[in-house]
């Protein structure tokens, strides 16, 4: 809830609690919570795999004569010990520069196709686990527009088979080692067949949305196959994307943060609440 709304609620109760006092309290509380925040960050980063995503968190521009707000970012990272529920922490940055993730990440990274991660993958500091949901979404948008049989429907059928295998591993309650073997036995052959189909279609399609969907999938192909390497990896990045819903909901109400210090305080509070 935005502080001005809380201020009005207290006014209706006959109590004066100005938003500037509330803001000062929140900033001071955030400072006290810093040790816990750093523990959460350390816990999230010790695991062999991470999920990451980011979203816009507008901040009042502290440079006069420019736009009233700048598009700062709030990054979410999820990870930790494989035996525990994921630890969640958020990081606030003034921009979507690759410097944010570059300072933190290692191991396997579940992420969307954000170009800012490319430097990590090139240096092999971290291995990309690309998101099948993003690859599926492009074909799904095309399939929705046509009722006739279409190449997009064929692509979706291959992806559906891959997800069916994931559902089977859950139904069978397999451990990580067993999931890896199960995927090697069943998913690998589907991926091989799908890749052969994609290679034919990319040369058969002249252009448009379908061509872009095919190109996206082929460009991400190595990352889309990484999940086969370990049973604790997933097919998509939906886990971290769901952690952005609370940010989107709050952003509709409070609109922006006042200063960089406020963005950092938001990251601390969100980290503790979401974990």
94 has a pLDDT exceeding 60: yes
Residues 124 and 10 grouped into a single domain: yes
In sequence order, the 6+-apart residues with CB closer than 8 A to the CB of 110 are: 49, 50, 51, 52, 129, 131, 233, 234, 236, 237, 239, 240
- How far is it, in rounded angstroms, from Cα 108 to Cα 128? 6
Domain boundary among 211, 229, 247: 229
Dihedral sign from CA coordinates of 9, 11, 15, 16: positive
Please tell me whether residues 8 and 47 are part of one structural domain: yes
- What proportion of the chain, given as a percentage, has pLDDT over 70? 93
Measured torsion, CA atoms of residues 15, 17, 19, 24, in degrees rounded to the nearest 10:
-170
Lowest mean pLDDT across 37-41, 85-89, 92-96, 192-196: 92-96
Taking the CB of residue 156, how many other CB atoms lie within 10 A of it? Answer: 16
Do 267 and 141 reside in the same domain of the chain?
Answer: no
pLDDT band for 103, please (50, 70, 90 cuts): low
CATH of residue 99: 3.30.420
246 and 123 in a single domain? The answer is yes
Same-domain check for residues 116 and 137: no
The verdict on 156 and 47 lying in the same domain is no
Q: Which domain holds residue 200?
A: 132-229
How many domains does one find in the chain?
Answer: 2
- Specify whether 22 is located in the same domain as 120: yes
Asked whether residue 159 falls in the same domain as residue 187, the answer is: yes
What is the rounded average pLDDT of the residues 59-76? Answer: 84
How far CA 206 is from CA of 109, 214, 220, 275, in Å, comes to 34, 11, 20, 47
Q: What is the pLDDT of residue 252?
A: 85
Q: What is the mean pLDDT of residues 169-196?
A: 97
Judgement on whether residues 105 and 136 belong to the same structural domain of the protein: no
Same domain flag for 195 and 242: no
User: Could you tell me if 146 and 189 lie in one domain?
Assistant: yes
What is the pLDDT, as a whole number, of residue 174? 96
Summarize the confidence of residues 164-186 as an average pLDDT: 97
Residues 243 and 109 in one domain: yes
Altogether, the residues listed in the chain come to a count of 275
């Amino acid at each position: 809830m935005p502080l001005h709304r809380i201020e009005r609620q207290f006014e209706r109760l006959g109590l004066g609690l100005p938003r500037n006092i509330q803001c000062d309290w929140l900033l001071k509380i955030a400072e006290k919570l810093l040790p816990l925040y750093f523990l959460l960050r350390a816990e999230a980063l010790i695991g062999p795999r991470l999920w990451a995503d980011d979203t816009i968190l507008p901040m009042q521009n502290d440079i006069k004569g420019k736009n009233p707000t700048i598009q700062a970012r709030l990054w979410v990272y999820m990870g930790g010990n494989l035996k525990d529920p994921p630890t969640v922490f958020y990081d606030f940055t003034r921009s979507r520069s690759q410097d944010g993730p570059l300072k933190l990440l290692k191991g396997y990274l579940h992420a969307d196709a954000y170009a800012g991660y490319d430097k990590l993958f090139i240096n092999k500091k971290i291995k990309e686990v690309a998101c099948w949901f993003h690859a599926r979404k492009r074909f799904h948008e095309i399939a929705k527009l046509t009722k006739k049989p279409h190449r997009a429907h064929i692509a979706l059928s291959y992806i559906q088979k891959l997800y069916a295998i994931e559902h089977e591993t859950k139904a069978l309650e397999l451990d990580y080692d067993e999931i890896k073997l199960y995927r090697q036995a069943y998913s690998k052959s589907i991926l091989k067949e799908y890749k052969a189909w994609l290679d034919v279609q990319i040369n058969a399609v002249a252009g448009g949305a379908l061509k872009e969907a095919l190109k996206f999938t082929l460009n991400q192909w190595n990352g889309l196959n990484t999940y086969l390497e370990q049973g604790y990896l997933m097919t998509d990045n939906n886990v971290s994307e769901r952690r952005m819903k609370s940010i989107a909901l709050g952003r509709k109400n409070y609109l922006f943060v006042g200063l960089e210090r406020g963005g950092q305080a938001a990251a601390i509070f969100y980290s503790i609440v979401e974990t």
